[in-house]
């Protein structure tokens, strides 16, 4: 259902508030550079720091700016099932294409609890769901077996896998079917994920190098692995630099270097990228030819 380069969009702030004009410019730039879909209000969008109304304003703004040109996969996850349902219903009413739903964090549900959580979401709202597995952040890991069971639900259409376990691409393909949409959640593993059957990436790096990431995605889709490897190598330092300090500090700093209208402002508990991180970002931007 989804493929290609899909940025997990940062949320621009200015003087403590959501900077809607900058966000709309970011969306316009992304689409012009070849981005294939957009994800507002993911972790990279600092969603844990957004209140309900602010969260919904970001989703609405993204959908309005995209104007139907690319799909919008709205971040709707929560460790509270009722809150996730509330987010999904708003996103559906606003016109989102799908919801990105992270595994419930902090609560540490069992695998049966995961199944019950996602079934409750699917029963309450028929908006398509992209399951997000990122055990490094949530602690709760959605096993390959559980993911294949989830894929049997008609509204669960894709996975963003940031487990770092590439074997799962094959396990998901075997258990969920070769047509089940598998997206990488790790930029640095995008190439091997694609070789094994993935069709795209929900990416941090695509925030700052959307054209290069779109070119990489096109090469992978064409099975032009030689070209994909060249682009992977060109982007690799940038992939690393995006996590040289707490995300999305480095990504926001990078965008402030590329665009004079973008502020690197973040919200606590995230703080601005430190000196070493900024130096790494500057070097990576230069190496990739972005600056």
Q: Which residues are catalytic?
A: 132, 160
Strand-by-strand arrangement of the 73-75 sheet: 4-7, 200-203, 181-184, 156-161, 129-133, 98-102, 73-75
Pairing of strands 13-14, 17-18: antiparallel
Distance CA 102, CA 104 (A): 6
- H-helix segments, 95-189: 111-124, 135-138, 144-150, 167-176
Residue 183's nearest CA partner among 36, 5, 31 is 5
Distance CA 76, CA 111 (A): 20
Q: Shortest CA distance to 157 belongs to which of 117, 199, 116, 189? A: 199
Residue 217: CA count within 13 A, CB half-sphere = 28
Separation CA 137–CA 124 (nearest Å): 26
Are residues 149 and 115 in contact, defined by beta-carbon separation less than 8 angstroms?
Answer: yes
């Amino acid at each position: 259902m989804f493929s290609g380069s899909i940025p997990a969009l940062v949320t621009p702030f200015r003087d403590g508030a959501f900077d809607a004009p900058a966000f709309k410019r970011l969306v316009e730039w992304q689409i012009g550079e070849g981005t294939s879909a957009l994800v507002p209000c993911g972790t990279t969008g600092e969603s844990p720091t957004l209140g309900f109304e602010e969260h919904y304003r970001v989703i609405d703004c993204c959908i309005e700016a995209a104007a139907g040109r690319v799909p919008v996969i709205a971040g709707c996850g929560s460790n509270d099932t009722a809150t996730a349902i509330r987010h999904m219903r708003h996103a559906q009413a606003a016109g989102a294409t799908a919801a990105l739903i992270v595994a419930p964090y902090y609560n540490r549900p069992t695998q049966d609890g995961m199944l019950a959580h996602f079934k409750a979401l699917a029963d309450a709202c028929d908006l398509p769901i992209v399951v997000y597995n990122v055990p490094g952040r949530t602690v709760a890991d959605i096993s390959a077996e559980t993911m294949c069971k989830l894929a049997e639900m008609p509204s669960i259409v894709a996975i963003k896998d940031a487990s770092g376990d590439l074997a799962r691409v094959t396990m998901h393909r075997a258990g969920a079917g070769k047509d089940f949409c598998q997206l990488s959640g790790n930029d640095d593993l995008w190439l091997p994920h694609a070789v094994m059957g993935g069709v795209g990436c929900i990416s941090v790096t695509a925030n700052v190098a959307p054209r290069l990431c779109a070119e990489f995605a096109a090469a992978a889709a064409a099975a032009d692995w030689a070209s994909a490897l060249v682009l992977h190598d060109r982007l690799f330092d940038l992939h690393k630099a995006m996590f040289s300090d707490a995300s999305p500090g480095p990504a926001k700093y990078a965008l402030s270097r590329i665009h004079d209208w973008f502020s690197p402002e973040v919200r606590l508990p995230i703080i601005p990228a430190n000196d070493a991180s900024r130096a790494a970002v500057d070097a990576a931007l230069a190496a990739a030819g972005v600056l």
